[in-house]
Structure 1
């Protein structure tokens, strides 16, 4: 199946915006981080973007924190988020060599034999660290092997810009509605499909409910349903910022592709929740607290 392409062209009068963004992305990262400092000040002390959502999420996830600590974590998130914004923009023009230098896979030997054997692999990521650099970094580290599920954006302009940004390094984007068809069409080719599975699963998604960060939380169960059918190993993807602009990615096997999974049981979703919880507790500021993760109730 060929890669997807944006469904609609964007209006011609937005082309100068596209040129401006491409021009900004050509600036060296140290210069872009100067802009990130300005974005941080605007977020933290100007518009206070989704401050109520952020502090409520942090407060509920870390009940032991004082109000001062909650606010400090919220401001630290703003600083992290501002850096992620310019790093995502940089993907539009960054070279494969520079990206490969900045995104390091600590244990690629766990997944390389599976590619060589033609196995389909599912990788489960989250909105921690720089989630956009995971797929692009994997496409550089494992050429021709990295695919990612995504939800097309409603804005034709941003859909086109983000599509170009995400696929420059060779990654293939798969619209969410085409996930199963794509997996079946590429079976035996030795490819990985990346899913960000920390978003709020709604009632129609047949979610798995568990206690996560002290709260009832719903998780998608796609991996628990698809992996046994495809005999696909499943890995958790952990990304940690080593220093500004540099990340380590570590993968952890959650499922070998062969063990039977009892109907109504979701061991993959549960294992994912526990590992993500560990990572968030280790680096609270590096999680995307601004999204409404807990909008659904059991």
Structure 2
């Protein structure tokens, strides 16, 4: 596996040395075979768009589909560019809005932890560069291991180059409790819109016209360690440039009832997706496990 990793890294690193404008040319070339020939997960995307936006015309939904695939090709090229991107270039292409207020909130409320709610929206890999802007804070992100070990190693290397820590999902609570003892404040990103496994389905809410289960770890752990919670609204300014704005959700999470913060996250993410749906990860089979299937699974596993 290490040989495969080295070959992949070498090839992608060489490709990343090309200017981004040339990589975007490759993106434009990739769109046609991906969309019309390979038809990568098009049935999944079309089914989910049809179910999520019944009020839209077929033309509107197909326009969203094409915009998504154009963006998805750009996303792939932007990820490749991360293999050699400089700190200066990264900080030129990414903008974080509201960091001074977040710092002030943490100081005023004497908070050790700050948790960030994110979605698979726009280029979420760029958000790991937050550590460049916050050298005085221990930054990290929760991640789910990719089944292919070589690709898992590649993405860990990409995310780690900015100085943040990648925390395996199953180790989240243990690691966060360990970080209590260090001097620095801690900021952790939770991408919480992926499909949970059966055993992690504890709460359901309406999201994009579906009964949807969400991970509740960010909310539960925030209450346990009294973390401030923020929603990070990511926007694409133009090709290759992104802006992330911090919106305070809760400075005192214990004051909220169970699942209230998870529902608030779902509402904010849905609002953003409805405004510009082409930037969400529609190839992810988000509703593969339904509530009815989950209830049956619970009954069978009593």
TM over 0.5: yes
Residue 149 of structure 1: SS of its match in structure 2?
Answer: strand
The alignment status of 1:82 with 2:73, answered yes or no, reads yes
The unaligned stretches of length 5 or more in structure 2 are: 292-302
Greater shift, 38-47 or 202-211, is seen at 202-211
Shift, 1:131, TM fit? 0.8
- Corresponding residue for residue 132 of structure 2: 140
Contact 1:125–1:194 at 8 Å: present in 2 too?
Answer: yes
Report what 1:107 is aligned to: 98
SS at the partner of 2:116? strand
**In the aligned structure 1, how far is the partner of 2:113 from the partner of 2:288?**
33
How far did residue 88 of structure 1 move?
1.0
Q: Does the Cα contact within 8 Å between 2:118 and 2:232 map onto a contact in 1? A: yes
Cα-to-partner distance string for 1:52-109 (whole Å, 9 max, x where unaligned) = 1001111111111222222221111000000011111111111111111111011112
Give the corresponding residue for 1:29.
Answer: 20
> 1:40, 1:25 → 2: CA distance?
19
- Give the 5 Å matches for 1:58-97: 58-97=49-88
Q: Secondary structure at the match of 2:34?
A: helix
| TM-score under structure 1 length normalisation | 0.91
Kindly provide the CA deviation profile for residues 189-246 of structure 1, in whole angstroms up to 9, marking residues without a partner as x.
3011111100122431143211111111111111221111101011111100010000
In the aligned structure 2, how far is the partner of 1:249 from the partner of 1:11?
35
Using structure 2 for the length normalisation, give the TM-score. 0.90
- Secondary structure of residue in 1 paired with 2:36: helix
Residue 258 of structure 1 and its aligned partner are, at CA, apart by 5.1
Counterpart position of 1:155: 148
Unaligned regions of 5+ residues in structure 1, if any? 1-9
Contact kept, 8 Å, 1:228 with 1:261, in 2: the verdict is no
Higher helix proportion: 2
- In 2, distance between residues paired with 1:14 and 1:198? 28
1:20 to 8, 11, 21: 11
- Please report how far the alpha carbon of residue 11 of structure 1 lies from its aligned counterpart in structure 2 after TM superposition: 3.7
> Residue 214 of structure 1 is aligned with which of 209, 227, 232?
209
Note if 1:234 corresponds to 2:203.
no
Which piece of structure 1 moves more, 195-204 or 78-87?
A: 195-204
